[in-house]
Chain A
Amino acid sequence: MRLMDIFKYSLESLKHRQMRSWLTILGIVIGIASVVALLTIGEGFNAEVNRQLSALGSDTISITPSTDPFANPFTSPSSGKLFESDAERLKRIPEITDISRVVYGRASVGYKDKQITTLVMGIDPDVFQKMSAIEIENGRFLQANDRKVVAVGGTFAEDAFGAKNRLNIGTYLLINGEKYPIIAVLKKSGGGFGPNTFLDNGVFISYNDGKELFRDSLADREVNEIDVNVRDGADMDSVVERITLELASAHKLRVEDKDFSVVDPKSIQSAVDSVLSLITLFLGAIAGISLLVGALSIANNMFTSVFERTHEIGVLKAVGATKGEIMRIFVFEAGAVGAIGGLAGVLLGYGLGLAANLFGLPTSINLAIGAFGVMFAFVIGLISGYVPARMASSLNPVDALRYE
């Protein structure tokens, strides 16, 4: 028999079994739809997070004094300390174009008669601005020689002192009792993952003012973080390695004992990516259990089908169908159940993903997921059909014909 004939024959016999086929297909539809919907939503999250992380600037590297780059700098002990001399030392690396020292901490900030405690960052303005995705809503950002002036993040300006007390340029904040005129309000970067929350709630002053402000919690010439910009086209991995070597030798430590981390945006991005992908895969796998059940249902259905059609198989064999042909008819029939279910399931899954989008979950329709879903369902069908099909193909034609 030609392959085409086998297809037609299989599909024809599916049509005859109406109710039972549809229930089996429905099982696969449900399984595939739930897997596709979860993967679609997971993919959407991933895309959203990546979009926000890319605001970091793709050629910036941060150095922090903790071996765990994701440790909370306000609660966990650091591993060591960074100093201005470390920042100086990095100038030896030719690929590094700019270096910003950063000191930060929580400080008392007052506006009118209200006082709060918040994160204040002392930065080298020109370099810092180049590295972060800072956009100005109002005013101008700090400049190299500015002293005792402050730039505030968009969310901070709006919320920190209540809706009736929005901050704007021309007014001033009291930072530890000292007057700092507000010279810039930053645009809100929106969202709320990682570095962007940080910008939106930030209070930025010059590095020297910051050093003075936090003199109690800083050692002599200590910095809390060093950010560097790398020349376009430089190989990030080798720059990261070079920085690690320089700082380890400045700290008189072997590289494996280093008391700092060197983090480039790509490594953050890939760390976050892999966590999110893991979660998505985990959820997908749990939903995928239903596909296993669906596969059992296909197998069951095919066994029944083989029994019911024993006589028919005998006739097919009597008119010259080979073992392989019988086998292919039944395997393909099972595959078709899977593929039809898969196709409907993918469409339903996309639909669910889009519906979730209406409720504010980010989704991204990925055609590869859909193609994978249909293929996967088809393969599941083929596998579940294999044993029943082998049973059908190995029937003895004489016995099969006699069977009623």
Chain B
Amino acid sequence: MKSIDIVMYSLKSLRHRQMRSWLTILGIVIGIAAVISLLTLGQSFNDQVNQQLSALGSNTIFITPSAESSGGFGGGGFSPSAGKLYDRDAERIKRVPEVSVVARLLSIRATVGFKDKNLTASITGIEPGVFEKTTALKIASGRFLLDNDRRVVVIGNKIAYDTFGSRNTVGVNSAILIKGIKYRVIGILEKSGGGFGFSNSDGSIIIPFSEARDMFKSTLAPNEVQAIVLSVFEGSDMNEVVDKLKSELDASHKVKPESRDYSVVDPASIQNAVSSVLSMITVFLGAIAGISLLVGGLAIASSMFTSVIERTHEIGVLKAVGATKNDILRIFVFEAGAVGAIGGAIGVMIGMIVAYAASAFGLPAVVDPALMLFGILFAFLIGIASGYVPARNAAKLSPVDALRYD
């Protein structure tokens, strides 16, 4: 038989079994729809996180005093650091030729007052001219700090509009008290939204480095800095730069690589780490939803077994008029594959609709044609795999016995 005949024959017999076919197809539809919608949502979430992480600046590298095993960010303040960083470390890494800008950072909790309200917040001390070149922070109103600024502060969006109460917004030119010292607000940052680590600037209160160091001299070691952020020249090989930075710092700290008391964190590696965790979660959820496809496959097999028994006589006739073993095998395998593929196609569409419906709650769904194709193909393969054993049973029937069967 020609392949096209086999296809036509299979589809026709599916139509004859109406109810049973549709229930079987519906099983596959549900499974594929669940898998596709979860994978689509997972992908969208991943994209969104990546977009936020890219706010870190792709040519920027952070050096922190936390252990490498903690990912460089040391448990949000609860865990001990591995060591300390000093001014001389910031000087030393300027030896790496790819490094264009080096900025020192301090970050300490202090009392912040506005009008009659006092609270505790993190104060970040930065070197204005160089720091600005290392970040993608955007100013919503006012301006960023300049090198010669004294007693002025740039604040994050949350500090401006929320922290002191919604009726007490802090505007440009307002005065706030930091540890009792009057600071004039000269800039408010754009809202950064969610965000991880350094990329969330909404709660930032940024003052000049030298003032911060002076303010916190009692809790800082002499010449201590709490993080170093640096930019590298466009087009440098990040991995190579990271390696060079590590060897400079190892020498400056007199440590061996295995007892390193600092971390060098580049955004690409954060992005990769976060991405791979998110992908793992997505795949895990997809796999759990995929269990339903296994059940759907069993349903196809069950339906095909029934079909083979019901059509024993018909198979006998086909064989009698010259259909080969292989023809019969292909008819039934293709029939099962068609159930899978039809279910897959409908399932992919429903899955996309579900993902879009979910995107109404704030997660933009991304249509991935490869994923759609994968869904249909996967369902087709499930069909073929489930149809194989019943089809072989059909192919093996002896034509004489089959014809006699009623």
Q: Which residues of A come within 8 Å of B, CB atoms?
A: 19-20, 23-24, 26-28, 30-31, 34, 38, 65, 72-81, 105-109, 114-119, 156, 159-160, 162, 176-177, 197-198, 201, 213-219, 222, 224, 259, 283, 286-287, 289-290, 292-294, 296-297, 299-301, 303-304
Contact = CB atoms under 8 A, between A and B. Distances in A.
B77 A293 contact: no
Q: Which 9 A-B pairs have the closest CB atoms?
A: A74-B77, A290-B292, A118-B80, A77-B121, A297-B299, A23-B302, A27-B295, A300-B23, A293-B27
B140 to A, nearest CB: 18
B109 interface: yes
A197 B289 CA distance: 35
Contact of A72 (B30, B76, B158, B216): B76
B219 A214 contact: yes
A154 to B, nearest CB: 13
Contacts of B221: 108, 115, 177
Interface string B203-230: 1000000000001111111001010000
B120 interface: yes
Contacts of A23: 298-299, 301-302, 305
Contact of A74 (B84, B109, B288, B291): B109
Given A77-B158, A118-B81, A162-B259, A217 B299 contact: no
A161 to B, nearest CB: 9
A38 B288 contact: yes
A73 B122 CA distance: 9
Contact of A65 (B82, B119, B218, B219): B119
B83 A293 contact: no
A370 to B, nearest CB: 19
A293 B347 CA distance: 13
Interface stretch (B110-118, B143-151, B270-278): B110-118
A27 B297 CA distance: 9
A213 B220 CA distance: 11
Contacts of A177: 221
A296 B20 CA distance: 10
Contact of A116 (B81, B117, B289, B301): B81
A116 B84 contact: yes
B79 interface: yes
A237 B26 CA distance: 51
A346 to B, nearest CB: 16
B107 to A, nearest CB: 9
Contacts of A222: 111, 120
Q: Which of B30, B77, B285, B301 has the most CB of A within 10 A?
A: B77
B36 interface: no
Nearest to B220: A108
Interface in B49-93: 65, 75-84
B121 A19 contact: no
B80 A156 contact: yes
11 contacts: A19-B302, A23-B305, A27-B302, A74-B109, A77-B158, A106-B77, A106-B219, A201-B80, A214-B219, A216-B215, A297-B24
Given A31-B291, A216-B179, A289-B34, A201 B122 contact: no
Contacts of B219: 105-108, 176, 213-214, 216-217
Contacts of A109: 80
Interface residues of B, number: 64
Contact of B83 (A81, A116, A286, A287): A116
B108 interface: yes
A342 to B, nearest CB: 14
Given A19-B305, A290-B31, A303-B23, A74 B76 contact: yes
Nearest to B113: A219
Contact of B302 (A76, A78, A297): A297
B119 A289 contact: no
Contacts of B76: 72, 74-75
A176 B222 CA distance: 10
Nearest to A20: B302
Q: Which of B30, B159, B218, B220 has the most CB of A within 10 A?
A: B218
Contacts of B119: 65, 77-81, 259
B296 interface: yes
A34 B291 contact: yes
B275 to A, nearest CB: 21
B398 interface: no
B394 interface: no
A78 B112 CA distance: 10
A34 B34 CA distance: 16
A19 B77 CA distance: 61
B379 interface: no
Given A198-B78, A217-B111, A217-B219, A293 B296 contact: yes
B295 A300 contact: no
A27 B299 contact: yes
B292 A289 contact: yes
Interface string B1-26: 00000000000000000011001101
Contacts of A76: 203
A106 B64 CA distance: 15
Contacts of A286: 34, 38, 285, 288-289
Nearest to B25: A296
Contact of B288 (A119, A287, A300): A287
B259 A216 contact: no
A106 B259 CA distance: 22
B294 interface: yes
Contacts of A294: 295, 299
Given A81-B120, A198-B78, A297 B27 contact: yes
Given A114-B83, A198-B78, A292-B292, A216 B34 contact: no
Contact of B218 (A24, A119, A215, A300): A215
Interface string B145-163: 0000000000000110001
Contacts of A197: 75, 78-79
Contact of A290 (B38, B163, B291, B303): B291
B80 A116 contact: yes
A300 B299 contact: yes
A105 B299 contact: no
B295 A293 contact: yes
Given A19-B305, A296-B299, 10 more contacts: A20-B305, A27-B295, A116-B65, A116-B83, A118-B81, A177-B221, A293-B292, A300-B24, A300-B303, A304-B306
A69 to B, nearest CB: 15
Given A20-B305, A23-B301, A77 B120 contact: yes
Contacts of B158: 77
Contacts of A201: 78-80
A299 B23 contact: yes
A216 B218 contact: yes
Nearest to A21: B302
Contact of A287 (B23, B203, B291): B291
Given A30-B295, A108-B221, A290-B291, A119 B34 contact: no
Nearest to A404: B406
A117 B302 contact: no
Contacts of A119: 77-80
Nearest to A161: B80
Contact of B109 (A34, A105, A289, A304): A105
Contacts of B305: 19-20, 23
